[in-house]
Chain A
């Protein structure tokens, strides 16, 4: 197989609400400019484009169609789209590069969560016959999982608050983060419940944003980047949607993806954990021990839906690019209660 690496990454600031449209163009134009500019590329140098976004997030059919205006897609481009987090678009692009037809790919994801009522929109992901008609909100569902873990002794509210406090402190070094600061665990625990046992800080904020990654193969990657983040394992799996039949305290899809991707020995991991307790669960599922997780602050510091998973991979790759780590892991999740999970392991080479 060909060697493929992440060579470029850019993302918008994570903000509570942007002025732009739900087709993402206003968010994408500057980050395309940034990522291509940093690599000395123009759009005609890109062999394949692939994006991830959601019509239900935008509130209308074909919301991704106008996004290609941000590319300036004429002459025509080789392009595809997944109705998933753009981490899976990155996977599709990686496969395309492995086929050998092209040497570069640009992947992007965008989401304007502020346009709708996210807690209700996410209920549309549930079983449409016997679950969605009850409109279970994403936070209420995650609250059940959190309580099951608390009662099983897997974590407690203090451990959950510690995750949030650490995320916000880490985000102080991330100028694009939405939430950052030094907060004490006791301060956090003094706040009210949003959905007992979850407090505001346990839940990822509502965020508008976009992210983009450039992939390149072999020599092209070495030309473009001093220290490419070579993809050494890229795997994803899905679990049954029947969460009432699942053990909510583990994530078989994460365990399997992590094993297959070779998560052993990573030094830094960016985990896509929209709720504080899920970071604890994922760290366990991936066998990460006590290595540094989410140095960017993670999605508790900014959660641009459909771009956040891609951004985790970009943030992890950045540690390879800057030489601060030699083996890193980016993780993305999708679906209710961590139903679908993706793991991308990247390494720097001397």
Chain B
């Protein structure tokens, strides 16, 4: 397997409704930035990979087909990945494999979601005959698992609010973030409406329109590159008898394979920044444990000690994360791109000083699809 690197990243300004652009225009806003960042032009791109969550969100079956002109894919190979919420991460990994395998030299990975075209709640709850009525709404699926985590880990109730306040403050440092709340505090989060007890309003992700793009190349195109040191993907069924929904085996297995491939034995010491898919605040400590940054039951202590802030031992979601912007299909690729930006030193006001190794993480479905990568500033 030959080395591959992220040589350019781009993203849109994320917002609840990007009514100024079409779907093609939204994708191109991210693509044009990524290609400019990489200093490449269309003839330099060998293939395109598009990731997006369910087609019902935009009401287009396989939208990569009608977007082929806008994606610059005409006459080239075009793949469409869909692995639920983890799709943005899978898109990055599939694009990386196209270069690592030697099949292509330079690949454009794009992910987008234009949630304002419909209503995700509707799309996910089309009343399928015979199926169990779900009385819970969007966060209601995950809230019981958060409760189970709190009970199992004995975590104090304010930790979730700490995550939310940190990510939203970080988001205010990110010019592309949907939500920018520099003045948010743990107290104000705790004072926000309890939606799905134990999850409060300020602890949930927004619904965004947005896109992200990265250029992955076998050779650097400028002085900056984020070398892909490892990729991992794992899947398990949505539910099964005895399934651990708080600390799913698929996530643990993916992380173990990832660290091994990257040659990392002590992730907490060796990783300088982590962009982790945290759509509800409590998933930060849950994934810290699942990823092996801490022992089981200890993740919340890292958060509580402030170690996941920018400047802490392991800055988590310096970009503001999913809690600040959530264009679903693009959210995973945003994590991957933000990790690359950290090691390329292009993260601007949310740059973690001296970051040389970073994690990009995505998950989807009922915490069952996992995609991750580790990028580093050093050529392997």
A residues whose Cβ falls under 8 Å from a Cβ of B: 1, 49, 54-56, 59-62, 64-66, 68-69, 73-84, 88, 91-92, 95-96, 98-101, 121-122, 124-129, 132, 235-242, 252-253, 256, 334-336, 339-340
Contact of A241 among B22, B65, B76, B368 (CB under 8 A): B65
Contact of B249 among A1, A75, A101 (CB under 8 A): A75
Q: How far is the CB of B242 from chain A (nearest CB, A)?
A: 9
Contact of A73 among B67, B236, B254 (CB under 8 A): B236
Q: How far is the CA of A65 from the CA of B77 in the complex (A)?
A: 26
Query: 10 A-B Cβ contacts within 8 A?
Result: A65-B365, A74-B237, A91-B79, A92-B94, A95-B97, A95-B98, A128-B58, A240-B68, A339-B65, A340-B65
Given A68-B235, A74-B240, A238-B74, is A83 in contact with B82 using a C-beta cutoff of 8 Å?
A: yes
Main secondary structure of the interface of B (DSSP, over half): loop
- A129 — nearest CB in chain B belongs to which residue? B22
Q: How far is the CB of A120 from chain B (nearest CB, A)?
A: 11
Q: Are A76 and B94 in contact (CB under 8 A)?
A: no
- B238 — nearest CB in chain A belongs to which residue? A65
Residues of A within 8 A of B56 (CB): 55-56, 60-61
Q: How far is the CB of A98 from chain B (nearest CB, A)?
A: 4
B253 interface residue per 8 A CB criterion: yes
Q: How far is the CB of A1 from chain B (nearest CB, A)?
A: 6
Residues of B within 8 A of A64 (CB): 82
The 7 A-B pairs with the shortest beta carbon distances in the complex, nearest first, are A61-B54, A124-B61, A98-B101, A76-B250, A79-B235, A83-B82, A56-B61
- A252 — nearest CB in chain B belongs to which residue? B75
B80 interface residue per 8 A CB criterion: yes
Contact of A84 among B79, B235, B248 (CB under 8 A): B79
Report B42-83 residues with CB < 8 Å from chain A CB.
52, 54-63, 65-69, 73-83
Residues of A within 8 A of B66 (CB): 125-128, 241
Q: How far is the CA of A92 from the CA of B78 in the complex (A)?
A: 11
Q: How far is the CB of A99 from chain B (nearest CB, A)?
A: 5
Q: Return the CB mask of B232-259 against A: 1 if under 8 Å, else 0.
A: 0111111010010000111001100000
Report B77-110 residues with CB < 8 Å from chain A CB.
77-84, 90, 94, 97-98, 100-103
Residues of B within 8 A of A235 (CB): 77
Q: Are A88 and B69 in contact (CB under 8 A)?
A: no
Q: How far is the CA of A263 from the CA of B116 in the complex (A)?
A: 45
- B85 — nearest CB in chain A belongs to which residue? A62
Given A56-B55, A74-B240, A80-B83, is A236 in contact with B77 using a C-beta cutoff of 8 Å?
A: yes
Q: Are A77 and B79 in contact (CB under 8 A)?
A: no
Q: How far is the CB of B195 from chain A (nearest CB, A)?
A: 22
- A339 — nearest CB in chain B belongs to which residue? B65
Q: How far is the CA of A196 from the CA of B55 in the complex (A)?
A: 32
Given A61-B126, A96-B97, is A238 in contact with B77 using a C-beta cutoff of 8 Å?
A: yes
- A127 — nearest CB in chain B belongs to which residue? B66
B residues whose Cβ falls under 8 Å from a Cβ of A: 1, 22-23, 52, 54-63, 65-69, 73-84, 90, 94, 97-98, 100-103, 123-124, 126, 128, 233-238, 240, 243, 248-250, 253-254, 365, 368-369
Residues of B within 8 A of A256 (CB): 75
Residues of B within 8 A of A91 (CB): 79
Q: How far is the CA of A100 from the CA of B97 in the complex (A)?
A: 10
Residues of B within 8 A of A236 (CB): 77-78
Contact of B81 among A54, A80, A100, A335 (CB under 8 A): A80
Given A128-B66, A335-B65, is A99 in contact with B60 using a C-beta cutoff of 8 Å?
A: no
Q: How far is the CA of A54 from the CA of B56 in the complex (A)?
A: 11
Residues of A within 8 A of B101 (CB): 1, 95-96, 98-99
Contact of B237 among A73, A128, A132, A339 (CB under 8 A): A73
Residues of A within 8 A of B59 (CB): 124, 128
Q: Are B233 and A78 in contact (CB under 8 A)?
A: yes
Residues of B within 8 A of A99 (CB): 1, 97, 100-101
Additional A-B contact list (17), CB under 8 Å, known A83-B52, A83-B62:
A54-B55, A54-B62, A65-B238, A68-B236, A76-B250, A77-B234, A79-B83, A83-B81, A84-B62, A88-B80, A95-B98, A124-B55, A124-B61, A128-B63, A132-B60, A253-B75, A339-B65
Q: How far is the CA of A113 from the CA of B55 in the complex (A)?
A: 17
Residues of B within 8 A of A92 (CB): 79, 94, 97
Residues of B within 8 A of A339 (CB): 65, 68
Residues of B within 8 A of A79 (CB): 83, 233-235, 369
Q: Are B61 and A54 in contact (CB under 8 A)?
A: yes
Q: How far is the CA of A221 from the CA of B128 in the complex (A)?
A: 43
Contact of A124 among B60, B234, B243 (CB under 8 A): B60
Q: Are B234 and A242 in contact (CB under 8 A)?
A: no
Q: How far is the CA of A228 from the CA of B60 in the complex (A)?
A: 39
- A88 — nearest CB in chain B belongs to which residue? B79
Contact of B69 among A61, A69, A77, A242 (CB under 8 A): A242
Q: How far is the CA of A236 from the CA of B64 in the complex (A)?
A: 14
Q: How far is the CA of A65 from the CA of B235 in the complex (A)?
A: 10
Contact of B233 among A60, A73, A80 (CB under 8 A): A80
Q: How far is the CA of A313 from the CA of B256 in the complex (A)?
A: 35
Q: How far is the CB of A236 from chain B (nearest CB, A)?
A: 5
Contact of A76 among B22, B90, B126, B234 (CB under 8 A): B234
Q: How far is the CA of A239 from the CA of B71 in the complex (A)?
A: 12
Q: How far is the CA of A71 from the CA of B369 in the complex (A)?
A: 15
Given A76-B234, A76-B249, A78-B234, is A83 in contact with B55 using a C-beta cutoff of 8 Å?
A: yes
Residues of A within 8 A of B68 (CB): 238-241, 339
Q: How far is the CB of B20 from chain A (nearest CB, A)?
A: 15
Q: Are A81 and B82 in contact (CB under 8 A)?
A: yes
Residues of A within 8 A of B52 (CB): 83
Q: How far is the CA of A339 from the CA of B57 in the complex (A)?
A: 23
Q: How far is the CA of A206 from the CA of B241 in the complex (A)?
A: 37
Q: Are B74 and A340 in contact (CB under 8 A)?
A: no
Residues of B within 8 A of A238 (CB): 65, 68, 73-78
Residues of B within 8 A of A335 (CB): 62, 65
- B56 — nearest CB in chain A belongs to which residue? A61
Given A60-B126, A73-B237, A121-B61, is A100 in contact with B1 using a C-beta cutoff of 8 Å?
A: yes
Q: How far is the CB of B127 from chain A (nearest CB, A)?
A: 10
Q: How far is the CA of A225 from the CA of B102 in the complex (A)?
A: 26
Q: How far is the CA of A339 from the CA of B82 in the complex (A)?
A: 20
